[in-house]
Amino acid sequence: MARFVSIWFPDLTTDRLVLKRPELAGTPFVLAAPSRGRVVVKAASPQARGCGIVEGMVVADARAVLPSLEVIEDDSELAGKLLAALAKWALRYTPLAGVDLDDGLILDATGCTHLWGGEMAYLKDIVARLKGSGYDARAAMADTIAAAWAVCRYGKSERIVAPGAQLDALLALPPTALRLEQITLEKMHKLGFYQIKSFVYIAPSVLKRRFGQALLDRLGQALGHVHEAFEPIQPPEPFTERLPCLEPIRTAPGIEIAMQKLLEMLCSRLVKEGQGVRKAVLKCYRIDGEMRQVEIGTSFASCSAGHLFKLFELKIPTIEPALGIELFVLEAPIVEPLGEQQDQLFNIGAANKWVEIAELLDRLVARAGPDISHRYLPAQHYWPERCTVEAASLKEQPQTTWRIDRPRPVHLLPEPQRVEVSAPVPDYPPMLFRYQGEVHKIKRADGPERIEQEWWIQQGLHRDYYTVEDEAGARFWIFRLGHYQDDNKPEWFIHGYFA
Protein backbone atom coordinates (compact mmCIF):
# COMPACT_ATOMS: atom_id res chain seq x y z
CA MET A 1 0.00 0.00 0.00
CA ALA A 2 1.24 3.45 -0.92
CA ARG A 3 2.18 5.94 1.79
CA PHE A 4 2.63 9.65 1.17
CA VAL A 5 4.07 12.45 3.28
CA SER A 6 3.02 16.08 3.02
CA ILE A 7 5.42 18.68 4.41
CA TRP A 8 4.18 22.22 5.05
CA PHE A 9 6.31 25.33 5.59
CA PRO A 10 3.99 28.01 7.02
CA ASP A 11 6.69 30.70 6.84
CA LEU A 12 9.00 29.41 4.12
CA THR A 13 10.26 32.68 2.64
CA THR A 14 10.49 34.54 5.95
CA ASP A 15 12.38 31.62 7.51
CA ARG A 16 14.81 31.67 4.59
CA LEU A 17 15.38 35.40 4.99
CA VAL A 18 16.19 34.97 8.65
CA LEU A 19 18.69 32.23 7.75
CA LYS A 20 20.40 34.53 5.23
CA ARG A 21 20.11 37.67 7.36
CA PRO A 22 20.36 36.73 11.05
CA GLU A 23 19.85 40.37 12.03
CA LEU A 24 16.16 39.94 11.10
CA ALA A 25 15.62 37.33 13.82
CA GLY A 26 13.06 38.67 16.29
CA THR A 27 12.37 41.73 14.12
CA PRO A 28 8.91 42.39 12.64
CA PHE A 29 9.25 42.46 8.85
CA VAL A 30 7.16 41.78 5.77
CA LEU A 31 7.72 40.83 2.15
CA ALA A 32 5.94 43.27 -0.14
CA ALA A 33 5.08 43.27 -3.85
CA PRO A 34 2.93 45.40 -6.20
CA SER A 35 -0.66 44.26 -6.71
CA ARG A 36 -3.31 46.16 -8.69
CA GLY A 37 -1.46 49.44 -8.41
CA ARG A 38 -0.72 49.09 -4.70
CA VAL A 39 2.12 47.59 -2.68
CA VAL A 40 0.73 44.86 -0.43
CA VAL A 41 2.08 42.40 2.10
CA LYS A 42 2.86 38.99 0.58
CA ALA A 43 4.29 37.39 3.72
CA ALA A 44 4.83 38.52 7.29
CA SER A 45 7.15 37.36 10.03
CA PRO A 46 5.58 35.95 13.23
CA GLN A 47 6.44 39.15 15.09
CA ALA A 48 4.64 41.24 12.43
CA ARG A 49 1.59 38.97 12.54
CA GLY A 50 1.54 39.35 16.29
CA CYS A 51 1.03 43.08 15.76
CA GLY A 52 -2.01 42.51 13.54
CA ILE A 53 -0.29 42.64 10.14
CA VAL A 54 -1.65 40.02 7.72
CA GLU A 55 -1.12 39.02 4.11
CA GLY A 56 -2.92 41.24 1.61
CA MET A 57 -2.70 44.35 3.79
CA VAL A 58 -1.49 47.51 2.09
CA VAL A 59 2.08 48.28 3.19
CA ALA A 60 1.14 51.89 4.04
CA ASP A 61 -1.53 50.60 6.45
CA ALA A 62 0.91 48.10 7.91
CA ARG A 63 3.43 50.86 8.61
CA ALA A 64 0.70 52.91 10.23
CA VAL A 65 0.10 49.98 12.59
CA LEU A 66 3.82 49.45 13.23
CA PRO A 67 6.11 52.36 12.21
CA SER A 68 9.27 50.30 12.88
CA LEU A 69 8.19 47.62 10.40
CA GLU A 70 10.96 46.41 8.07
CA VAL A 71 9.72 46.12 4.46
CA ILE A 72 11.61 43.83 2.05
CA GLU A 73 10.88 43.48 -1.65
CA ASP A 74 9.48 40.05 -2.45
CA ASP A 75 11.01 37.77 -5.07
CA SER A 76 8.12 36.03 -6.87
CA GLU A 77 10.32 33.06 -7.82
CA LEU A 78 11.92 32.64 -4.41
CA ALA A 79 9.39 30.12 -3.05
CA GLY A 80 9.76 27.87 -6.09
CA LYS A 81 13.55 27.94 -5.88
CA LEU A 82 13.51 27.19 -2.15
CA LEU A 83 11.08 24.30 -2.52
CA ALA A 84 13.08 22.80 -5.39
CA ALA A 85 16.22 22.90 -3.25
CA LEU A 86 14.37 21.36 -0.28
CA ALA A 87 12.94 18.64 -2.54
CA LYS A 88 16.46 17.69 -3.61
CA TRP A 89 17.47 17.59 0.05
CA ALA A 90 14.50 15.28 0.76
CA LEU A 91 15.77 12.69 -1.73
CA ARG A 92 17.77 11.20 1.14
CA TYR A 93 14.42 10.00 2.55
CA THR A 94 12.77 8.75 -0.64
CA PRO A 95 13.53 8.35 -4.36
CA LEU A 96 10.33 10.30 -5.18
CA ALA A 97 10.04 13.88 -3.92
CA GLY A 98 8.02 16.67 -5.52
CA VAL A 99 7.25 20.34 -5.01
CA ASP A 100 3.80 21.32 -3.72
CA LEU A 101 3.56 25.01 -4.57
CA ASP A 102 3.53 27.42 -2.94
CA ASP A 103 4.51 26.18 0.48
CA GLY A 104 5.10 22.44 0.67
CA LEU A 105 6.59 19.17 -0.49
CA ILE A 106 5.14 15.76 -1.31
CA LEU A 107 7.16 12.59 -0.64
CA ASP A 108 6.30 9.07 -1.73
CA ALA A 109 7.42 7.16 1.37
CA THR A 110 6.25 3.75 0.18
CA GLY A 111 8.73 1.13 1.37
CA CYS A 112 11.07 3.69 2.97
CA THR A 113 9.92 4.14 6.58
CA HIS A 114 11.33 0.86 7.92
CA LEU A 115 14.83 2.14 7.20
CA TRP A 116 14.30 4.76 9.92
CA GLY A 117 12.59 2.45 12.39
CA GLY A 118 8.95 3.09 11.47
CA GLU A 119 6.64 5.83 10.29
CA MET A 120 6.74 7.91 13.46
CA ALA A 121 10.55 7.89 13.58
CA TYR A 122 10.60 8.70 9.86
CA LEU A 123 8.44 11.81 10.27
CA LYS A 124 10.22 12.94 13.43
CA ASP A 125 13.60 12.74 11.74
CA ILE A 126 12.43 14.83 8.75
CA VAL A 127 10.83 17.53 10.90
CA ALA A 128 13.74 17.63 13.37
CA ARG A 129 16.27 18.08 10.55
CA LEU A 130 14.25 20.88 8.96
CA LYS A 131 13.68 22.69 12.25
CA GLY A 132 17.35 22.27 13.10
CA SER A 133 18.12 24.10 9.84
CA GLY A 134 15.86 27.01 10.83
CA TYR A 135 12.60 26.12 9.04
CA ASP A 136 9.18 25.93 10.69
CA ALA A 137 7.96 22.64 9.23
CA ARG A 138 5.02 20.33 9.80
CA ALA A 139 4.48 16.88 8.29
CA ALA A 140 1.79 14.22 8.04
CA MET A 141 1.51 10.77 6.47
CA ALA A 142 -1.43 8.99 4.88
CA ASP A 143 -2.40 6.58 2.09
CA THR A 144 -3.24 9.46 -0.25
CA ILE A 145 -1.60 12.76 -1.11
CA ALA A 146 -4.82 14.68 -0.43
CA ALA A 147 -5.36 13.16 3.03
CA ALA A 148 -1.74 13.82 4.03
CA TRP A 149 -2.05 17.42 2.78
CA ALA A 150 -5.27 17.99 4.76
CA VAL A 151 -4.03 16.50 8.03
CA CYS A 152 -0.68 18.31 7.75
CA ARG A 153 -2.32 21.73 7.53
CA TYR A 154 -5.56 21.32 9.47
CA GLY A 155 -5.06 18.32 11.75
CA LYS A 156 -5.02 19.10 15.46
CA SER A 157 -2.85 16.34 16.94
CA GLU A 158 -2.38 13.02 15.14
CA ARG A 159 -0.01 13.36 12.16
CA ILE A 160 -0.01 9.75 10.99
CA VAL A 161 -3.20 8.42 9.41
CA ALA A 162 -3.43 4.66 9.77
CA PRO A 163 -3.74 2.69 6.52
CA GLY A 164 -7.32 2.85 5.24
CA ALA A 165 -8.40 5.39 7.90
CA GLN A 166 -8.53 8.49 5.69
CA LEU A 167 -12.26 9.06 6.22
CA ASP A 168 -12.02 9.07 10.02
CA ALA A 169 -9.09 11.51 9.84
CA LEU A 170 -10.99 13.91 7.57
CA LEU A 171 -14.37 14.07 9.32
CA ALA A 172 -13.48 16.84 11.78
CA LEU A 173 -11.54 18.97 9.30
CA PRO A 174 -12.97 22.04 7.52
CA PRO A 175 -13.94 21.88 3.81
CA THR A 176 -10.91 24.01 2.89
CA ALA A 177 -8.77 20.98 3.76
CA LEU A 178 -9.98 19.43 0.49
CA ARG A 179 -8.28 22.18 -1.57
CA LEU A 180 -11.58 23.46 -2.99
CA GLU A 181 -12.16 26.65 -4.95
CA GLN A 182 -13.11 29.74 -2.96
CA ILE A 183 -16.53 29.96 -4.62
CA THR A 184 -17.33 26.40 -3.52
CA LEU A 185 -16.16 27.12 0.02
CA GLU A 186 -18.41 30.18 0.24
CA LYS A 187 -21.43 28.12 -0.85
CA MET A 188 -20.66 25.51 1.78
CA HIS A 189 -20.26 28.14 4.48
CA LYS A 190 -23.67 29.62 3.66
CA LEU A 191 -25.24 26.15 3.98
CA GLY A 192 -23.56 25.54 7.34
CA PHE A 193 -21.07 22.94 6.14
CA TYR A 194 -18.23 23.80 8.51
CA GLN A 195 -16.76 20.29 8.70
CA ILE A 196 -16.29 17.52 6.14
CA LYS A 197 -18.55 15.21 8.17
CA SER A 198 -21.41 17.61 7.46
CA PHE A 199 -21.59 16.59 3.80
CA VAL A 200 -19.40 13.54 3.19
CA TYR A 201 -22.35 11.13 3.59
CA ILE A 202 -24.65 13.07 1.25
CA ALA A 203 -25.40 11.29 -2.03
CA PRO A 204 -22.79 12.09 -4.72
CA SER A 205 -25.49 13.10 -7.19
CA VAL A 206 -26.74 15.76 -4.79
CA LEU A 207 -23.24 17.08 -4.08
CA LYS A 208 -22.48 17.23 -7.78
CA ARG A 209 -25.66 19.15 -8.52
CA ARG A 210 -24.96 21.64 -5.73
CA PHE A 211 -21.17 22.06 -5.92
CA GLY A 212 -19.98 20.51 -9.17
CA GLN A 213 -17.72 17.60 -10.10
CA ALA A 214 -14.65 19.24 -8.53
CA LEU A 215 -15.90 18.45 -5.01
CA LEU A 216 -16.41 14.76 -5.85
CA ASP A 217 -12.94 14.60 -7.42
CA ARG A 218 -11.31 16.12 -4.34
CA LEU A 219 -13.19 13.79 -2.02
CA GLY A 220 -12.25 10.82 -4.20
CA GLN A 221 -8.57 11.82 -4.12
CA ALA A 222 -8.60 12.17 -0.34
CA LEU A 223 -10.35 8.83 0.22
CA GLY A 224 -8.28 6.98 -2.36
CA HIS A 225 -11.06 6.37 -4.91
CA VAL A 226 -9.52 8.73 -7.50
CA HIS A 227 -5.84 8.54 -8.38
CA GLU A 228 -3.77 11.69 -7.83
CA ALA A 229 -0.33 11.88 -9.41
CA PHE A 230 2.49 14.23 -8.58
CA GLU A 231 5.57 15.10 -10.56
CA PRO A 232 8.86 14.22 -8.83
CA ILE A 233 11.73 16.64 -9.32
CA GLN A 234 13.81 13.90 -10.93
CA PRO A 235 12.36 10.48 -11.75
CA PRO A 236 14.54 7.73 -10.28
CA GLU A 237 16.58 5.54 -12.55
CA PRO A 238 15.07 2.07 -13.10
CA PHE A 239 18.21 0.50 -11.65
CA THR A 240 18.77 2.27 -8.33
CA GLU A 241 19.88 1.01 -4.94
CA ARG A 242 19.82 3.02 -1.67
CA LEU A 243 21.77 2.44 1.54
CA PRO A 244 20.99 4.68 4.55
CA CYS A 245 23.53 4.70 7.38
CA LEU A 246 22.75 4.39 11.07
CA GLU A 247 25.79 6.54 11.82
CA PRO A 248 27.43 9.09 9.47
CA ILE A 249 30.27 7.60 7.40
CA ARG A 250 33.46 9.68 7.38
CA THR A 251 36.21 7.22 6.41
CA ALA A 252 37.37 5.67 3.14
CA PRO A 253 36.93 2.07 4.45
CA GLY A 254 33.35 2.90 5.39
CA ILE A 255 32.66 4.26 1.90
CA GLU A 256 34.23 1.14 0.37
CA ILE A 257 31.99 -1.16 2.44
CA ALA A 258 28.88 0.80 1.43
CA MET A 259 29.97 0.75 -2.22
CA GLN A 260 30.55 -3.01 -2.21
CA LYS A 261 27.14 -3.69 -0.68
CA LEU A 262 25.37 -1.45 -3.18
CA LEU A 263 27.19 -3.04 -6.12
CA GLU A 264 26.25 -6.53 -4.95
CA MET A 265 22.59 -5.49 -4.69
CA LEU A 266 22.63 -3.79 -8.10
CA CYS A 267 24.49 -6.57 -9.94
CA SER A 268 22.14 -9.17 -8.47
CA ARG A 269 19.19 -7.33 -10.07
CA LEU A 270 21.05 -6.84 -13.34
CA VAL A 271 21.88 -10.55 -13.68
CA LYS A 272 18.23 -11.50 -13.15
CA GLU A 273 17.12 -9.08 -15.87
CA GLY A 274 19.95 -9.86 -18.29
CA GLN A 275 21.38 -6.33 -18.21
CA GLY A 276 24.87 -4.93 -17.69
CA VAL A 277 26.18 -1.54 -16.57
CA ARG A 278 27.59 0.91 -19.11
CA LYS A 279 27.45 3.91 -16.75
CA ALA A 280 27.01 4.02 -12.97
CA VAL A 281 26.71 6.97 -10.58
CA LEU A 282 27.30 6.92 -6.81
CA LYS A 283 25.60 9.76 -4.91
CA CYS A 284 26.66 10.50 -1.33
CA TYR A 285 24.25 12.60 0.75
CA ARG A 286 26.02 14.33 3.65
CA ILE A 287 24.48 15.41 6.94
CA ASP A 288 25.26 19.05 6.12
CA GLY A 289 22.73 18.91 3.27
CA GLU A 290 25.31 18.69 0.49
CA MET A 291 25.61 15.88 -2.03
CA ARG A 292 28.76 14.53 -3.67
CA GLN A 293 28.81 12.11 -6.58
CA VAL A 294 31.25 10.12 -8.68
CA GLU A 295 30.57 8.15 -11.84
CA ILE A 296 32.21 5.44 -13.91
CA GLY A 297 31.75 4.06 -17.41
CA THR A 298 32.53 0.70 -18.95
CA SER A 299 33.53 -0.23 -22.46
CA PHE A 300 31.34 -3.34 -22.31
CA ALA A 301 28.09 -4.12 -20.46
CA SER A 302 29.22 -5.48 -17.09
CA CYS A 303 27.46 -7.09 -14.15
CA SER A 304 30.68 -7.95 -12.29
CA ALA A 305 30.56 -6.32 -8.84
CA GLY A 306 34.30 -6.87 -8.40
CA HIS A 307 35.22 -5.14 -11.65
CA LEU A 308 32.86 -2.20 -11.03
CA PHE A 309 34.21 -1.80 -7.50
CA LYS A 310 37.77 -1.47 -8.83
CA LEU A 311 36.63 1.40 -11.04
CA PHE A 312 34.80 3.16 -8.19
CA GLU A 313 37.74 2.53 -5.86
CA LEU A 314 39.85 4.92 -7.91
CA LYS A 315 37.26 7.67 -7.29
CA ILE A 316 37.03 7.34 -3.49
CA PRO A 317 39.78 9.94 -2.78
CA THR A 318 37.64 12.55 -4.61
CA ILE A 319 34.66 12.08 -2.25
CA GLU A 320 34.58 14.63 0.57
CA PRO A 321 32.59 13.16 3.49
CA ALA A 322 32.91 16.34 5.62
CA LEU A 323 30.90 15.71 8.81
CA GLY A 324 29.68 12.40 7.48
CA ILE A 325 27.58 10.69 4.78
CA GLU A 326 24.14 9.50 5.86
CA LEU A 327 22.84 8.02 2.61
CA PHE A 328 24.43 6.31 -0.41
CA VAL A 329 22.50 5.97 -3.68
CA LEU A 330 23.86 3.92 -6.59
CA GLU A 331 22.25 4.49 -9.99
CA ALA A 332 22.82 2.82 -13.35
CA PRO A 333 21.42 5.35 -15.88
CA ILE A 334 22.84 3.47 -18.89
CA VAL A 335 22.53 -0.31 -19.15
CA GLU A 336 22.69 -2.75 -22.07
CA PRO A 337 21.70 -6.37 -22.61
CA LEU A 338 24.50 -8.68 -21.59
CA GLY A 339 24.57 -10.66 -24.83
CA GLU A 340 25.54 -14.26 -25.48
CA GLN A 341 29.23 -13.90 -24.56
CA GLN A 342 28.71 -12.09 -21.26
CA ASP A 343 28.81 -15.27 -19.21
CA GLN A 344 32.36 -15.86 -20.42
CA LEU A 345 33.44 -12.24 -20.53
CA PHE A 346 34.06 -11.95 -16.80
CA ASN A 347 34.96 -15.57 -16.19
CA ILE A 348 38.66 -15.63 -15.27
CA GLY A 349 39.00 -19.29 -16.16
CA ALA A 350 37.52 -18.91 -19.64
CA ALA A 351 39.59 -18.65 -22.78
CA ASN A 352 37.84 -15.47 -23.82
CA LYS A 353 40.44 -12.66 -23.99
CA TRP A 354 37.82 -9.89 -24.17
CA VAL A 355 37.86 -9.69 -20.39
CA GLU A 356 41.47 -8.51 -20.37
CA ILE A 357 40.82 -5.86 -23.02
CA ALA A 358 37.58 -4.61 -21.48
CA GLU A 359 38.89 -4.37 -17.92
CA LEU A 360 42.15 -2.76 -19.01
CA LEU A 361 40.32 -0.08 -20.99
CA ASP A 362 37.94 0.58 -18.11
CA ARG A 363 40.83 1.04 -15.66
CA LEU A 364 42.66 3.36 -18.05
CA VAL A 365 39.56 5.50 -18.52
CA ALA A 366 38.91 5.57 -14.76
CA ARG A 367 42.45 6.73 -14.07
CA ALA A 368 43.10 9.15 -16.92
CA GLY A 369 39.66 10.22 -18.13
CA PRO A 370 37.40 9.30 -21.06
CA ASP A 371 39.72 10.82 -23.69
CA ILE A 372 42.46 8.28 -23.03
CA SER A 373 40.83 5.48 -25.06
CA HIS A 374 39.11 5.52 -28.45
CA ARG A 375 38.04 2.80 -30.86
CA TYR A 376 37.45 3.62 -34.52
CA LEU A 377 35.55 1.76 -37.22
CA PRO A 378 35.65 2.24 -40.99
CA ALA A 379 32.94 4.42 -42.51
CA GLN A 380 31.57 4.30 -46.05
CA HIS A 381 33.35 7.45 -47.25
CA TYR A 382 36.43 8.24 -49.32
CA TRP A 383 37.06 11.75 -47.98
CA PRO A 384 39.76 11.21 -45.32
CA GLU A 385 38.03 13.24 -42.56
CA ARG A 386 34.91 11.09 -42.91
CA CYS A 387 36.39 7.65 -43.49
CA THR A 388 36.33 6.64 -39.79
CA VAL A 389 33.73 6.80 -37.02
CA GLU A 390 34.27 6.40 -33.28
CA ALA A 391 32.71 3.24 -31.83
CA ALA A 392 30.40 3.50 -28.84
CA SER A 393 31.42 0.12 -27.39
CA LEU A 394 33.74 -2.82 -27.90
CA LYS A 395 31.02 -4.98 -29.38
CA GLU A 396 29.89 -2.51 -32.04
CA GLN A 397 30.49 -4.04 -35.47
CA PRO A 398 31.73 -2.13 -38.57
CA GLN A 399 29.31 -1.51 -41.43
CA THR A 400 32.09 -1.87 -44.01
CA THR A 401 35.67 -3.20 -44.26
CA TRP A 402 38.87 -1.24 -43.84
CA ARG A 403 40.33 -0.04 -47.12
CA ILE A 404 43.73 -1.67 -47.71
CA ASP A 405 44.30 -1.11 -51.42
CA ARG A 406 45.83 2.35 -50.80
CA PRO A 407 48.40 3.45 -48.20
CA ARG A 408 46.96 5.42 -45.31
CA PRO A 409 48.88 7.16 -42.48
CA VAL A 410 48.93 5.76 -38.97
CA HIS A 411 48.30 9.26 -37.59
CA LEU A 412 45.71 11.33 -39.46
CA LEU A 413 45.59 14.97 -38.37
CA PRO A 414 42.12 16.23 -37.32
CA GLU A 415 42.50 19.08 -39.80
CA PRO A 416 45.05 19.41 -42.66
CA GLN A 417 47.79 21.95 -41.91
CA ARG A 418 49.25 24.25 -44.53
CA VAL A 419 52.87 23.78 -45.67
CA GLU A 420 55.21 25.71 -47.99
CA VAL A 421 56.24 23.55 -50.96
CA SER A 422 58.73 23.74 -53.79
CA ALA A 423 57.45 21.52 -56.61
CA PRO A 424 57.67 21.20 -60.40
CA VAL A 425 54.41 21.59 -62.27
CA PRO A 426 51.87 20.40 -63.09
CA ASP A 427 51.71 16.91 -61.57
CA TYR A 428 55.11 16.27 -60.05
CA PRO A 429 55.58 15.60 -56.32
CA PRO A 430 57.26 18.36 -54.28
CA MET A 431 61.07 18.48 -53.96
CA LEU A 432 60.91 19.91 -50.41
CA PHE A 433 58.42 21.43 -47.99
CA ARG A 434 58.60 23.58 -44.85
CA TYR A 435 56.47 22.52 -41.88
CA GLN A 436 56.52 24.12 -38.41
CA GLY A 437 59.74 25.97 -39.23
CA GLU A 438 61.62 22.87 -40.38
CA VAL A 439 62.62 22.14 -44.00
CA HIS A 440 62.12 18.55 -45.22
CA LYS A 441 63.97 17.53 -48.39
CA ILE A 442 62.08 14.77 -50.15
CA LYS A 443 64.03 11.67 -51.05
CA ARG A 444 61.20 9.46 -52.33
CA ALA A 445 57.62 10.12 -53.36
CA ASP A 446 54.60 8.16 -54.57
CA GLY A 447 51.44 9.56 -56.14
CA PRO A 448 49.34 11.36 -56.88
CA GLU A 449 46.11 9.79 -55.59
CA ARG A 450 43.18 12.03 -56.41
CA ILE A 451 40.32 12.18 -53.88
CA GLU A 452 37.22 14.12 -54.85
CA GLN A 453 34.76 15.82 -52.52
CA GLU A 454 31.48 13.94 -51.99
CA TRP A 455 29.26 16.38 -53.86
CA TRP A 456 26.06 15.20 -52.12
CA ILE A 457 27.60 16.19 -48.75
CA GLN A 458 29.80 19.20 -49.47
CA GLN A 459 31.09 21.15 -52.48
CA GLY A 460 34.83 21.86 -52.84
CA LEU A 461 38.08 21.32 -54.70
CA HIS A 462 39.65 17.92 -55.18
CA ARG A 463 42.91 16.83 -53.51
CA ASP A 464 45.99 15.18 -55.03
CA TYR A 465 47.69 13.16 -52.27
CA TYR A 466 51.39 12.13 -52.23
CA THR A 467 53.19 9.77 -49.88
CA VAL A 468 56.66 11.29 -49.41
CA GLU A 469 59.80 10.36 -47.46
CA ASP A 470 62.42 12.87 -46.38
CA GLU A 471 66.18 12.36 -45.98
CA ALA A 472 65.75 11.37 -42.31
CA GLY A 473 63.41 8.52 -43.26
CA ALA A 474 60.22 10.17 -41.96
CA ARG A 475 57.17 9.60 -44.16
CA PHE A 476 54.31 12.10 -44.64
CA TRP A 477 50.96 12.27 -46.37
CA ILE A 478 50.62 15.61 -48.17
CA PHE A 479 48.26 16.92 -50.81
CA ARG A 480 47.76 19.69 -53.33
CA LEU A 481 44.37 21.38 -53.24
CA GLY A 482 42.96 21.91 -56.74
CA HIS A 483 44.67 22.47 -60.12
CA TYR A 484 47.53 24.70 -61.13
CA GLN A 485 46.21 27.62 -63.14
CA ASP A 486 47.84 30.59 -64.80
CA ASP A 487 46.61 33.06 -62.22
CA ASN A 488 46.29 30.75 -59.27
CA LYS A 489 48.93 28.75 -57.42
CA PRO A 490 47.31 25.88 -55.44
CA GLU A 491 47.98 25.43 -51.75
CA TRP A 492 49.67 22.42 -50.18
CA PHE A 493 48.78 20.72 -46.91
CA ILE A 494 50.09 17.94 -44.67
CA HIS A 495 47.41 15.53 -43.49
CA GLY A 496 49.16 12.68 -41.69
CA TYR A 497 52.24 10.70 -40.67
CA PHE A 498 53.26 7.16 -41.49
CA ALA A 499 55.06 4.96 -38.99
Residues 299 and 420 in one domain: no
Residues 131 and 10 in one domain: yes
- Residue 352 forms part of a structural domain: yes
Q: What is the DSSP letter of 228?
A: -
Percent of the chain with pLDDT over 70: 93
In 3D space, the residue among 100, 111, 84 whose CA is nearest the CA of residue 146 turns out to be 100
Q: How confident is the model at residue 395 (pLDDT cuts 50, 70, 90)?
A: low
Q: How confident is the model at residue 145 (pLDDT cuts 50, 70, 90)?
A: very high
Residues 137 and 163 in one domain: no
Average pLDDT estimate for 101-107: 89
Residues 19 and 130 in one domain: yes
Helices and strands counted in the chain (H then E): 14, 19
Tell me: cis bond preceding 426? Omega within 30 of 0 counts. yes
- Residue 380 forms part of a structural domain: no
Residues 250 and 206 in one domain: no
| Residue type present at position 100 | D
270 contacts 332 by C-beta, under 8 angstroms:
yes
440-448's contacts with Cβ under 8 Å and 24+ in sequence apart are 440/470, 440/471, 440/472, 440/474, 440/476, 441/470, 441/471, 442/468, 442/469, 442/470, 443/469, 443/470, 443/471, 444/468, 444/469, 445/469, 446/407, 448/479, 448/480
Q: How confident is the model at residue 342 (pLDDT cuts 50, 70, 90)?
A: very low
Instruction: Look at the alpha carbons of 232, 233, 238, 240 in this order and tell me if their dihedral is positive or negative.
Output: negative
Residues 16 and 130 in one domain: yes
Q: How confident is the model at residue 283 (pLDDT cuts 50, 70, 90)?
A: very high
Instruction: Look at the alpha carbons of 390, 393, 395, 399 in this order and tell me if their dihedral is positive or negative.
Output: negative
Specify the pLDDT at position 178. 95
Q: Which of 98, 127, 143 is the last residue of a domain?
A: 143
Residues 16 and 137 in one domain: yes
Q: Answer whether 0.85 is exceeded by the pTM.
A: no
Q: How confident is the model at residue 400 (pLDDT cuts 50, 70, 90)?
A: confident
Average pLDDT of the chain is 86
Specify the pLDDT at position 329. 93
- Residue 17 forms part of a structural domain: yes
Report the CATH number at residue 84. 3.40.1170.60
Residues 487 and 445 in one domain: yes
- Residue 261 forms part of a structural domain: yes
Q: Give the distance from CA 86 to its chain's centroid.
A: 16
Q: Which of 24-38, 182-196, 268-282 has the lowest mean pLDDT?
A: 24-38
Cα–Cα separations (whole angstroms), residue 333 to 85, 200, 255, 316, 325: 22, 46, 21, 20, 22
Output phi, psi for 326, to 5 deg. -105, -15
- Residue 385 forms part of a structural domain: no
Residues 218 and 165 in one domain: yes
Residues 177 and 121 in one domain: no
Listed in sequence order, the DSSP H helices in 212-248 are: 213-223
- Residue 464 forms part of a structural domain: yes
Cα–Cα separations (whole angstroms), residue 422 to 440, 477, 480, 498: 11, 16, 12, 21
Number of domains in the chain: 4
Full residue range of the structural domain in which residue 474 is found: 411-497
Q: Which of 336, 352, 368 is the last residue of a domain?
A: 368
